[in-house]
């Protein structure tokens, strides 16, 4: 993982208070948050890896080699997109159709990029490298923090953790084969995915404006699932941000005590 | 070159472009206030949509199944300030038990 804090000297005991006041230096509270963040990043990587195995199996069934399966997981590295594209190939669909289906599911990466951009500052090649892990989980763990340094820390840890585990799982699935789907369902692994996103949005729900936007996003996505192409419900949900100017006054009234 | 490689190369390029536009074009540049305000609220909308889609979508239709029990268990755990791993494990157990019970009944 990239840790950009190497250039910040650790504060001695005498300087600790001053440094804390000056912010940005690692403090005890900071380290606790980092530990929590690393734990989240690794858990979420573990939670998605059964789906990596399933992806490997799907590739094998679609007639792709294990090398191609590994190529999808390392170079495309966007779960939903990978499943959609290989699903089309499995039904002997055209390459153009598979690419279109995959890209539709990846459009939300554009929105994630806008959200994450302020936290991903640095030389262009670093930004280029970091962008590769612009996935649901990395955005989710990163944006749990408002502080930009912690935001990048969470993003890179979650992105890195999922990248490593997802790729190992894919190769395992492509080589070993079949039973994974049964076990995903039997062990309730599919139930952990929404749970992890809920955990990561949870603190935001304490704020009334954020809560209204979250409710709006949830409502839009539910309405959009049956009518919009796969992948679009997530990005359409972003439109819920547009309701924020209207809830400033009304939204705060009954709930300010919860802050 | 078979279709698998063509799709792989096409998607690797296209998806990377989508991922990198934000950080490469907007990075290191102060954003207009309204974009910042929207960006600070956008995660709430996107994350809650991810929760909903991963709970209620089965392909293109909506369905209520064992995953709902997992989500409820997660919400209860979060309400009780459980840590992340406990939340995830609670969701897996609730989903698995609900599915098993549904299969048995």
Model pLDDT, residue A211: 95
Q: What is the ipTM of this complex?
A: 0.91
Q: What is the pLDDT of residues A1-19, one digit of tens each?
A: 444 444 444 444 444 444 4
- Residues A92, A94: Cα–Cα separation, whole Å: 7
Q: Are A19 and A11 in contact (CB under 8 A)?
A: yes
- Residues A223, A219: Cα–Cα separation, whole Å: 6
Reduced to 3 states (helix: H, G, I; strand: E, B; else coil), residue A20 is helix
Nearest to A57 by CA among A24, A87, A98, A23: A87
| CA dihedral (B42, B45, B46, B47) positive or negative | positive
What does pLDDT average to over chain A?
85
Reduced to 3 states (helix: H, G, I; strand: E, B; else coil), residue A9 is coil
Q: What is the pLDDT of residues A125-182, one digit of tens each?
A: 999 999 999 999 999 999 999 899 999 999 999 999 999 999 999 999 998 877 777 7
Tell me how close the Cα of A86 comes to any Cα of chain B, in angstroms.
8
Whether the CB of A244 is below 8 Å from some CB of chain B: the reply is: yes
Residues within 8 A of B (CB atoms), A 135-154 only: 136, 139-140, 143, 146
Identify all chain B residues contacting A215, using CB atoms and an 8 Å cutoff: 48
Mean pLDDT of A203-230: 93
- Residues A52, A70: Cα–Cα separation, whole Å: 10
Nearest to A134 by CA among A104, A159, A101, A167: A159
Structure tokens at A230: 């796969």
Query: Cα A56 to chain center, whole Å?
Result: 20
Identify all chain B residues contacting A43, using CB atoms and an 8 Å cutoff: 84-85, 88
pLDDT category, A230, cuts 50, 70, 90?
confident
Mean pLDDT of A54-75: 93
pLDDT category, A90, cuts 50, 70, 90?
confident
Structure tokens at A254: 């009954």
Model pLDDT, residue A254: 36
Q: What is the pLDDT of residues B30-79, one digit of tens each?
A: 778 888 888 889 999 999 999 999 999 988 899 999 999 999 999 999 99
A107 CB contacts (<8 Å, ≥6 apart)? A231, A232, A235, B18
Give the helix/strand (H/E) hosting B5: helix B3-21
Q: Where are the alpha helices (DSSP H) in chain A?
A: 13-22, 28-61, 66-71, 79-90, 95-106, 108-116, 124-131, 136-143, 148-176, 180-186, 192-201, 208-224, 232-237, 244-255
- Residues A131, A30: Cα–Cα separation, whole Å: 25
Model pLDDT, residue B23: 94
Whether the CB of A10 is below 8 Å from some CB of chain B: the reply is: no
Residues within 8 A of B (CB atoms), A 154-183 only: none
pLDDT category, B101, cuts 50, 70, 90?
very high
Q: What is the pLDDT of residues A177-215, one digit of tens each?
A: 777 777 888 889 899 999 999 999 998 999 999 999 999
* Cα dist from B32 to A138, A214, A218, A250, whole Å: 24, 23, 27, 26
A39 to B56: CB separation less than 8 angstroms, yes or no: no
Identify all chain B residues contacting A244, using CB atoms and an 8 Å cutoff: 37, 41
The three-state (H, E, C) secondary structure of A111-145, written as one string: HHHHHHHHHCCCCHHHHHHHHCCCCHHHHHHHHCC
B24 to A124: CB separation less than 8 angstroms, yes or no: yes
Whether the CB of A120 is below 8 Å from some CB of chain B: the reply is: yes
DSSP per-residue string spanning B22-84: IIIIITTSPPPHHHHHHHHHHHHHHHHHHHHHHHHEETTEE---THHHHHHHHHHHHHTT--H
Q: What is the pLDDT of residues B80-100, one digit of tens each?
A: 999 899 999 999 999 999 999
Query: Cα A227 to chain center, whole Å?
Result: 24
- Residues A125, A116: Cα–Cα separation, whole Å: 16
- Residues A11, A181: Cα–Cα separation, whole Å: 50
- Residues A139, A142: Cα–Cα separation, whole Å: 5
B44 to A108: CB separation less than 8 angstroms, yes or no: no
Model pLDDT, residue A109: 94
């Amino acid at each position: 993982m990239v840790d950009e804090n190497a250039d910040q000297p650790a504060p001695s005991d005498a300087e600790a208070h001053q440094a804390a006041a000056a912010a940005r230096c690692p403090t005890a509270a900071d380290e606790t948050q980092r530990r929590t963040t690393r734990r989240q990043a690794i858990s979420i990587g573990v939670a998605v890896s059964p789906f990596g195995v399933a992806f490997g199996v799907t590739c094998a069934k679609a007639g792709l080699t294990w090398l191609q399966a590994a190529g999808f997981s390392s170079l495309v590295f966007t779960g939903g997109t990978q499943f959609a594209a290989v699903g089309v190939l499995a039904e002997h669909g055209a390459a153009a159709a598979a690419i279109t289906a995959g890209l539709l599911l990846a459009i939300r990466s554009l929105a994630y990029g806008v959200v994450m951009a302020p936290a991903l500052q640095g030389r262009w090649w670093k930004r280029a490298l970091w962008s590769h892990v612009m996935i649901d989980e990395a955005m989710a763990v990163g944006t749990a923090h408002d502080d930009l340094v912690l935001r990048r820390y969470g993003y890179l840890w979650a992105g890195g953790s999922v990248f490593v585990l997802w790729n190992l799982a894919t190769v395992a699935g492509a080589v070993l084969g079949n039973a994974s789907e049964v076990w995903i369902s039997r062990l309730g692994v599919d139930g952990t995915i929404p749970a992890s996103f809920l955990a990561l949005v949870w603190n935001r729900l304490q704020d009334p404006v954020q809560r209204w936007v979250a409710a709006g996003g949830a409502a839009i996505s539910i309405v959009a699932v049956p009518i919009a192409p796969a992948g679009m419900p997530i990005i359409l949900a972003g439109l819920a941000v547009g309701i924020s100017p209207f809830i400033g006054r009304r939204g705060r009234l009954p709930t300010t005590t919860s802050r | 070159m078979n279709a698998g490689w063509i799709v792989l190369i096409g998607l690797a390029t296209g998806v990377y472009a989508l991922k990198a536009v934000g950080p490469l074009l907007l990075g290191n540049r102060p954003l207009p206030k309204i974009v910042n305000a929207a960006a600070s609220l956008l995660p709430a909308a996107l994350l809650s949509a991810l929760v909903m889609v991963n709970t209620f979508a089965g392909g293109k239709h909506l369905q209520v199944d064992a995953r709902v029990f997992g989500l409820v268990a997660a919400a209860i755990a979060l309400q009780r300030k459980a840590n992340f791993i406990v939340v995830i494990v609670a969701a897996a157990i609730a989903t698995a038990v609900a599915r098993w019970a549904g299969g048995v009944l």
